């Protein structure tokens, strides 16, 4: 772990770490606290210090999707895919940020879910409650990468805000598209992220989600 050298790095502090065996191999799990005392988690696999073009995922916490298996979003599938891709690559970083519900918290997220159950999409549900579309920041994630000594990353994301943040931090090597197959309930969520929040797909010119039936067809043809 590097000693903090600039304002970005001093905005985050290392707290603890341990090797954790998982179904995706052994990962070093570390906790960090930001200037507001919020705890974030970083998982590294393989050697990443002083490395270029490290496979990386910035992932915001989603209790509903990742722990309880909600089929309304693709968050659990995206996290699982990040673990698998990094394991296959032999090294990489997952920064797991405490930003539930795109930063509005679990209670407000459930309120928004209740509105979505009446036919609103995820953006309009937030707005109906007087909540912002997206409160997330990725400064802490970039600071963690700096403390780890990572030189640059191949960022697994479809989110242009994440790309912009990493590029401005001088850490972006390239984007790795991270589209996952989605079930029926998540199709509208993926469409909304693409059409109303500018999210990308497998290519910058591809403006529609890949649905589960299409994904399975591609697998069968390969």
Catalytic residue among 57, 74, 102, 134: 134
The contacts found for 123-127 with CB under 8 angstroms, 24 or more apart, are: 123/192, 123/196, 123/197, 126/102
Among the listed ranges 63-72, 92-101, 143-152, 192-201, which one has the minimum average pLDDT value?
Answer: 192-201
CATH code, domain carrying 59: 3.40.50.10990
Residue 134 annotated in active site:
yes
Q: Return d(Cα 58, Cα 36) in angstroms, integer.
A: 19
Rg of the Cα trace of the chain? 17
152 domain-assigned? yes
| Structural domain total, the chain | 1
Known catalytic residue at 167: no
Structural domain contains residue 106: no
Would 168 be classed as within a structural domain?
yes
192-216 pLDDT, tens per residue? 888 888 888 765 444 444 444 544 4
Q: Which domain holds residue 76?
A: 7-99+136-180
Q: Are 12 and 137 in contact (CB under 8 A)?
A: no
Q: Tell me whether residue 222 is in a domain.
A: no
Q: Is 109 a member of any domain? A: no
Candidates 136, 184, 188, 196; catalytic one: 136
Cα separation, 175 vs 171, in Å, equals 11
- Global pTM? 0.85
> From CA 107, how far away is CA 117, in angstroms rounded?
16
Q: How far apart are CA 176 and CA 12, in angstroms?
A: 26
Inside any domain, residue 38: yes
- Structural tokens at position 150: 């990572």
């Amino acid at each position: 772990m590097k000693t903090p050298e600039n304002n970005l790095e001093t905005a985050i502090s290392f707290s603890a770490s341990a090797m954790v065996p998982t179904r995706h191999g052994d990962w070093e799990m570390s906790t960090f606290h930001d200037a507001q005392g919020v705890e974030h988690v970083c998982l590294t696999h393989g050697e990443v210090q002083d490395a270029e073009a490290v496979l990386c995922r910035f992932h915001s916490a989603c209790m509903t999707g990742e722990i309880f298996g909600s089929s309304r979003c693709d968050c659990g599938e995206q996290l699982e895919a990040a673990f698998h891709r990094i394991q296959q690559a032999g090294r990489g970083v997952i920064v797991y940020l405490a930003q539930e519900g795109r930063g509005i918290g679990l209670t407000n997220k459930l309120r928004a879910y209740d509105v979505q159950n009446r036919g609103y999409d995820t953006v309009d549900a937030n707005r109906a409650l007087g909540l912002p579309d997206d409160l997330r920041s990725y400064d802490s994630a970039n600071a963690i990468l700096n403390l780890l000594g990572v030189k640059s990353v191949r960022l697994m994301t479809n989110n242009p805000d994440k790309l912009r943040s990493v590029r401005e931090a001088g850490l972006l090597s390239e984007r790795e598209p991270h589209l996952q197959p989605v079930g029926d309930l998540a199709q509208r969520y993926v469409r909304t992220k693409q059409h109303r929040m500018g999210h990308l797909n497998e290519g910058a010119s591809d403006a529609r989600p890949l649905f589960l039936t299409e994904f399975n067809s591609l697998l069968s043809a390969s």
